[in-house]
Amino acid sequence: MIADKPLKRNSNIQPLSRDHHFGLLFCWKVRIGLKAGIATDRMVRYVDYFWKGHLKKHFKEEEELLFSKVDHAICDQGKNEHTQLVHLISLLLGNETIISMPITNSEGYADDSFITDKKQIDSNEHEKTLEQFIKLLEAHIRFEERVMFPFLERHLSDEQLMEIGEFLDKENDDGFADNYCDEFWLFTK
């Protein structure tokens, strides 16, 4: 049986792929917490920490450096999934104004307009929302690695990729360190 070879990523966008490793590890930690019956408020605090310390910046970099460079349904899917993930984060964190799915323009593509509605997640729904969030984030990361990044590597010029790489090198010189103080995933039943 031949094992799948690891995906070879263009060196200029490798920092974003390394970020995906942290994202998958984050998903694993929350999934362990869910299986172990850890209090959801503890896991939601970790979501907040990871969002503010890592994921928010990562989404912004992808949207500005990658998604905006090629007008294609693959990039639109990436943007839409980011919007769905931000919506779920907003629900988990109890933000009063929830960002909903983007409105599509006449061509059916998402634009920068957002619907907002006033909702609060019921505390009993946190576990279900955490599960949805983790499932979507993991699927999104796998989509970007297996579909979107190879597509963009074929469609971005060498010059564009170099500019992206220079920006990422300058912005991400020390990387993300997950030093969250409540390691709930280590102390399961």
Model confidence pLDDT, tens digit, residues 4-52 = 655 678 999 999 999 999 999 999 999 999 999 999 999 999 999 999 9
pLDDT at 94: 84
Mean pLDDT value of segment 77-100:
82
- What is the reported pTM? 0.81
pLDDT at 5: 56
CA atoms in the 13 A half-sphere facing the CB of 65:
24
pLDDT at 36: 92
Burial class from Cβ neighbours inside 10 Å (0-12, 13-18, 19+) for residue 145 reads: middle
Residues 135-185 pLDDT 10s:
999 999 999 999 999 999 999 999 999 999 999 988 775 667 888 999 999
Residue 155 contacts residue 72 (beta carbons within 8 Å): yes
Tokens of 18: 């390394």
Q: Find the Cα–Cα–Cα–Cα dihedral 4, 177, 86, 94, rounded to 10°.
A: 140
Residue 18 contacts residue 145 (beta carbons within 8 Å): no
Going by pLDDT thresholds of 50, 70 and 90, the confidence category of residue 123 is low
pLDDT at 7: 62
Tokens of 63: 């949207």
